[in-house]
A and B are shown apart, each in its own frame.
Chain A
Amino acid sequence: MRGKTKTKGKIKQKHNFRWWRNTIAKGVIYFVLICVGFVYLEPIFEMIAKTFMSSADIIDPSVTWIPKKLSLNNLEVAGTVLKVGPTLRNTILWSGGMAVAQTVVSAMTGYALSRYEFKFKALWFVMIVLAFIIPTPVTMIPRLMMFVSAQEATAIQLIGTAIPQVSMALLGQGVYSTVLILIFYTSFNMIPRVLDEAAQIDGASSLKIFWFIVVKMSATTILVVFLFSFVWNWNETYITGTLLRGNIELLPSKLNMFNSEFSSVATAQGGAFKLNKAYKMAATLISISPLLLLYVFVQKQFIQGIENTGITGE
């Protein structure tokens, strides 16, 4: 009897100890995650805070986070400099169009890789990865020369229009296309082949199988790929700067040239404004707020999609 109770007490003690240890460990984990999370978000908080500060608050050293008086002046000025109305519409159309093109071609390539055993498949896999690893500037100069030559030869204006980049996206050479293909590849691999075979027996063509089975079953993946593509095309400035040369005004490239744009606008209006950090922060906030808004609405699908599809192509 006595021995039994003793061991029981010991077990209880051990249990208690373990519970405490786990709780403390969890606490430490949360503490670290929240601290690092703050470091992540700090620039965004700062951006938001600075955006709504009046010019008096910015100079005032006693004001760091919360402005004394809410002011929309910075947003207004940054909006005028960025010409926010048309630029925003352009950027959304631009990124959306590119994303559609990239999604379609990546889905097709992913389908081919996942469903068919063709010759030199391993080689094409290596090429797909290689296309990702090669830094962009290496291929940019000949691409530019190619488009310029084509422009001279056909007398159709190419540089400064959307044609070069749309054709590149349509042929699977857009921003980070490799990643999109690999996402589709892993997700298509998870759709059972039995379904294909059943459809095949019923006389469906491969295009029909692609559309009615594979595409219709991967709505989440398509959304994820579209979003990734949209975001990456939105944020891309190097290729766009080289081929488009600012002929279509897009938000990120405008932001890139904010300093010079600002001074030109300011001199046009009589030089009443002086560039300060608040204007820049407001401009940055304007250029990322559509993405933030998008993220708020679709973050659940986004994160689940990433985790389920497993972006890692092994």
Chain B
Amino acid sequence: MAKKNEKRTKSGRTKGYEKRQNRLGYAFMAPWIAGFVLFTLIPFGATIALSFCNVNTNVTGYDITFAGWSNYYTAFFRNTEFVPALGSFLGMVIPYTFVILVVSFVMAYLLNKIEVGKGLMRTIYFLPVIIMSGPVMSQILDKTEETVQAAQGLYNGYEGVFILNMIRSYSPRIALFMEGIFDQLTMILWFTGIPIVLFVSGLQRINISLYEAAKIDMANEWQILWKITIPMIKPTALVAVIFTIAQLGTYDTSAIYSLIKTATNNTNGGFGFAATYSWIYCVVVLLVIGAACLIFKERQPKRRDIW
């Protein structure tokens, strides 16, 4: 009898214990799992299925007919808005993510260096986390007045900037790109709220003794930054990048969003198109995130020449 109770598993615990753990774990997870299956997994599959269908609304509900690849054909070749919207989304996400990542790391690094006025500075820099939302952003960045002036040739803020003129003489395209970044600097900065939070907590978790050891070995600040801080912060950077892309992806003033919204509101056969658009959009977002993961993946050191 006693032997039966002592049956142990690999981890050295009794079987009853593991069963209990399993049961209780699932008991606490149950609401989330139910919600995930009901509101995320099934809809996700349904979107893929719907993207191959024509959906019409009728009195009793939905009338779904299989349509093959026609929705995709329409999205890419017949709809003149979709591909440019996708392009503009990519053209926004990639440079934005890069700039947001760099700026938020620099800001977090500097915030971590100061002592006096730390609280006040953090209060300012975390503020965007609180108030950032689609409507607020679109109201603040309402540049209609400036664009009207620009159309009349009254407004060009960057004509007199010496460095930009210098760059423009090399390559007008780079200058244009930089002007775009400066134009939307506020907006880009407002996306840095959460990444700064992430970086600050990541920086605080780096062991101080590492810095001390490096200082004893006569490393200067610059070397410490590149050889210790940046490699150590890489996992945090990946989280920040994923968060930024997800945030930019759900930022509901992009062109793709309005396309999907219009298609969703079109009750006469719109749902199929909306499903196709959003599914393609999802694939694009996942691809961008996957690329970010590849870039920030921890590389295994090929050889160790420390010894």
Residues in chain A near residue B60, CB distance under 8 A: 152
Are the CB atoms of B134 and A238 closer together than 8 Å? yes
Are the CB atoms of B24 and A148 closer together than 8 Å? no
Q: What is the number of residues of chain B that contact chain A, defined by CB distance less than 8 Å?
A: 91
Closest chain B residue to A300, Cβ basis: B119
Are the CB atoms of A134 and B119 closer together than 8 Å? no
**Interface residues in A112-152 (C-beta closer than 8 Å to B):** 112-113, 115-119, 121, 124, 127-128, 131-146, 148-149, 152
Are the CB atoms of A135 and B39 closer together than 8 Å? no
**Shortest distance between the CB of A144 and any CB in chain B (Å):** 7
Closest chain A residue to B187, Cβ basis: A43
Stretch at the interface among A6-14, A155-163, A281-289: A281-289
Complex CA–CA separation, A255 to B200 (angstroms): 33
Q: What is the number of residues of chain A that contact chain B, defined by CB distance less than 8 Å?
A: 91
Are the CB atoms of B205 and A116 closer together than 8 Å? no
Closest chain A residue to B275, Cβ basis: A141
Residues in chain B near residue A237, CB distance under 8 A: 133-135, 252
Given contacts A132-B246, A143-B43, contact A40 B130 (CB under 8 A): no
A134, A237, A292 pick with most chain B CB within 10 angstroms: A134
Given contacts A277-B145, A303-B123, contact A231 B114 (CB under 8 A): no
Complex CA–CA separation, A146 to B128 (angstroms): 35
Closest chain A residue to B114, Cβ basis: A29
B139 within 8 A of partner (CB): yes
Are the CB atoms of B123 and A141 closer together than 8 Å? no
Residues in chain A near residue B40, CB distance under 8 A: 131, 134, 139, 173
Are the CB atoms of B139 and A137 closer together than 8 Å? no
Complex CA–CA separation, A121 to B250 (angstroms): 28
- Chain A contact residues: helix, strand, loop or mixed: helix
Given contacts A40-B124, A118-B21, A139-B44, contact A307 B285 (CB under 8 A): no
Residues in chain A near residue B189, CB distance under 8 A: 36, 39-40
Given contacts A40-B125, A255-B135, contact A136 B114 (CB under 8 A): no
**Interface residues in B107-130 (C-beta closer than 8 Å to A):** 107, 110-111, 113-114, 117, 119, 121-130
Closest chain B residue to A172, Cβ basis: B32
Given contacts A137-B257, A292-B130, contact A314 B235 (CB under 8 A): yes
Complex CA–CA separation, A137 to B55 (angstroms): 17
Residues in chain A near residue B124, CB distance under 8 A: 37, 40-41
| Interface residues, chain A, with chain B CB atoms under 8 Å away | 26, 29-30, 32-33, 36-37, 39-44, 47, 105, 108-109, 111-113, 115-119, 121, 124, 127-128, 131-146, 148-149, 152, 168, 170-173, 177, 181, 206, 210, 231, 234-238, 242, 252-253, 255-256, 258, 277, 280-281, 283-284, 287-288, 291-292, 294-295, 299-300, 302-303, 306-307, 310-314
Q: Pick 21 A–B contacts, CB within 8 A, sort by A.
A: A32-B110, A33-B110, A33-B121, A36-B107, A39-B186, A112-B27, A124-B33, A133-B246, A135-B246, A139-B40, A139-B47, A141-B264, A142-B46, A145-B55, A173-B35, A235-B136, A237-B252, A252-B135, A287-B135, A307-B201, A311-B201
